Chains A and B, each alone.
Chain A
Amino acid sequence: MAQPAVTSPSGATPDTVSVVDDRLAQVSLVTKLLRRPELGALIGALAVGLFFAVTADSFRTLAGVANWTDVASTLGIMAVVVALLMIGGEFDLSAGAMTGTSGLLLGLLSTEWGFSMWPAILVTFAFAVCIGLFNGFMVMKTRLPSFIVTLATFFILQGVNLGFTKAITDTVRVAGLTDVTGFESAATIFASTFWEPYNFRISVIWWIGITIVATWVLSRSRFGNWIFAVGGDANAARNVGVPVQKVKITLFVITSTSAALVGTMIALRLGSIQAGQGIGEEFTYIIAAVVGGCLLTGGYGSAIGAALGALIVGMAFIGIQFSGWNTDWRFLFLGVILLMAVLVNNLVRKSAEGARR
């Protein structure tokens, strides 16, 4: 796929245009496919799906599908936005804890501090924007790796989650959201189910919608072009006038706001939320994004790929359970697919970056 795209100057002839247009069509389908970052994830998703369809009968049923798409959906929403951030060259390790923080904040606002549901949701999202701005500004102004800065945010949030919840409720959970005014309408939007009797989660719709929007943004919007550029080479991007800091800070805000969306979904789904919600999931998001073709070094990846990566994780979690195996095996599974994905991605990057001069 690394055949030269250009030939050395030889005096352009007037008919170059037509000649080249013929050649444009000749880029083979295989080359085009191989250039898609999500190809590996697609093949992986098919393989994992087939595997569990064989090992567990219930995996194949529509009720089973509703089960694993449910797991994949909340993971997937986060995986897609984490993928955008990773393409932009940054990490957010606080994304998992942030789903817990925002769910807890929503719970406390509505059950302890007298907010009705919709204003509480609004405040929760505003708070999430602040956390995203904090992460973004800290990373941009200190020029420290986002890995370290958001690791700090992660631990701060984890401590706050447990500390505040215990101090205020004397337990490690916030419950009773179902009794709050406006719960019904909010739950319809964030936490209902559809398609009786299989009961697909509404979060699946959100997941698909967010994947479509993110894909459009990446492939067609100027902002998407800038995301690739700031992750691929921030200096070059700055030199041609891309507002590097603004793009990266916006990505941090998108990530934390999406965490608030997922936190809201989880809190409203159960009517309660645990203080430990989301801890450890930040790595699952990153695994899904990497399986979906994102490079750890930034500048390359896909939203569809991340969504497929989340689908693989969801299928594996439920598939292992349905097959009657010990669910601890899922960590082994995550580790193995991550390793495979990183190896494949490394090859892809070498072929894309190769032949430098």
Chain B
Amino acid sequence: MTDHALIAKNIRKDVIRSIARAGKGHTASNLSTADIFTALYFGTLKHNPRAPGYGDRVFASKHLSPAWQATKSQAGYFSAKELFKEQKELNTGLSTAVGSALAARMDGKQHHTYCIISDHELSKGENWEAIMLAGKYKLNNFTLIIDRSNIQADGYTEEIMPLEPLRAKYEAFNWNVTEVDGHNHAHISEALKEESTKPKAVIAHTIPGKGISFIENKYEWHEKAPTKDEEEKALKELA
């Protein structure tokens, strides 16, 4: 097993543990984004866990915080013990991420801003306002990674609010778009490294609940926490 695969597995374990402990959370999305977070934090990202606030900026949706925090714990931002302690202050929201990139542009700062969101959030109008603004200002210091898992609480995104053709939508808003297998660390890293003169969207095709057989591809797990038994079963699969 490669280092990245091991890290992603550890993240998934922590995701299962923390959501089971909280009794609520978006199990499927946090499992599907584990590989994206791994590829970002252990590949492309310029950062220093001992000096947070310097280097590249990362934003992610609030509901992805179990996977995000587990990744930061793996990267050395805090210990596994602290991971489960308290709710941490997070930088969330696509609009805020775009604002941060705009500020960096104003000051001529060299860092890059990344934002990770789930596909179902694109049914929210505010996000398209942010996408439009980033396109307008040609924010080439900004990358948005979309977890294209196709599910949300009530079913499949294409049934609830069709997003396709998603690639064409971003292109129409003046973005560069790359589509990747969201579980292939090398492909994600490669896509993140590509130079761009425009804001960049990486559409990462993923399997919801990836890694746990009885959660995979089931939209029922979008907003469901594992029970004690399910937690044990899931951790056994990841062992």
A binds B: no
Residues of A within 8 A of B (CB): none
Residues of B within 8 A of A (CB): none
